[in-house]
């Protein structure tokens, strides 16, 4: 297992949340803000947590907060900003809208580190989840090039890197549910009550 001093946690909380109408990181589940679930899942595995957001409200968590280098350029910019601010080779990246995520899911990513792959992402319900993934700092250059060329699609950037998926068991798939709408918020609250 890679020592946690070689891993930084990066939480992407810069989304516009246009469909939700409010900053998703502060949505509550059991009276705890979503972003706190990301912090709790990452904390045992990393030496530092960086929040990528232009919203100063996140400073209440007492973590290092950085703003996006390129504004309104989506997760490619957020990931790039986070990697540039990180001082470690390995970086666990999480978006702030996955409140059911668990430390042991993130551990699977670390267990799959090898000398070849630059990005190791969770695969859930047959889909790669680039916002629950481990990124090597080496991809910063690739991501920067995409930003310069105005390519905002995360999947395109990932396809140009050496990536692999860690497939979740069926019973763990609920941990990767993310919330974009009020309907999904209700679904997550229901899933959490079981």
Over residues 63-102, the pLDDT tens digits come to 999 998 888 888 999 999 999 999 999 999 999 999 999 9
- Which secondary structure element, helix H or strand E, spans residue 138, and what is its range? none
- Give the three-state DSSP class for 123: strand
pLDDT at 172 over 60: yes
d(CA 90, CA 69): 20
Predicted local distance difference test score (pLDDT) of residue 181: 85
Predicted local distance difference test score (pLDDT) of residue 21: 62
> Which tokens hold the place of 192?
């959490």
**Residue 134 class from Cβ within 10 Å (0-12 exposed, 13-18 middle, 19+ buried)?**
buried
d(CA 38, CA 79): 15
pLDDT at 13 over 70: yes
How many CB atoms neighbour CB 43 within 10 A? 12
53-75: string of b/e by CB count within 10 Å (b at 16+)?
beeeebeebeeebbebbbeebbb
Q: Is there a contact between 46 and 63 (Cβ–Cβ < 8 Å)?
A: no
Closest to 50 (Cα-Cα) out of 104, 87, 4, 5: 87
* Average pLDDT estimate for 138-143: 96
């Amino acid at each position: 297992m890679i020592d946690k001093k070689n891993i930084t946690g990066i939480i992407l909380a810069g989304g516009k949340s246009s469909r939700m109408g409010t900053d998703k990181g502060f949505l509550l589940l059991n009276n705890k803000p979503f972003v706190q679930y990301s912090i709790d899942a990452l904390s045992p595995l990393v030496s530092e947590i960086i929040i990528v957001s232009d919203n100063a409200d996140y400073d209440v968590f007492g973590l290092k907060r950085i703003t996006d280098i390129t504004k309104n350029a989506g997760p490619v910019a957020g990931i790039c900003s986070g990697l540039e601010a990180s001082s470690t080779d390995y970086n666990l990246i999480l978006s702030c809208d996955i409140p059911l995520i668990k430390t042991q899911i993130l551990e699977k990513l670390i267990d799959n580190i090898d000398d070849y792959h630059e990005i190791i992402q969770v695969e859930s319900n047959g889909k790669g989840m680039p916002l629950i993934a481990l990124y090597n700092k080496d991809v910063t250059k690739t991501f920067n090039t995409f930003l310069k060329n105005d390519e905002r699609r995360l999947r395109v950037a990932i396809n140009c890197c050496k990536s692999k998926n860690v497939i979740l068991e069926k019973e763990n798939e609920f941990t990767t549910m993310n919330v974009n709408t009020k309907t999904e918020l209700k679904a997550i609250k229901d899933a959490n009550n079981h």
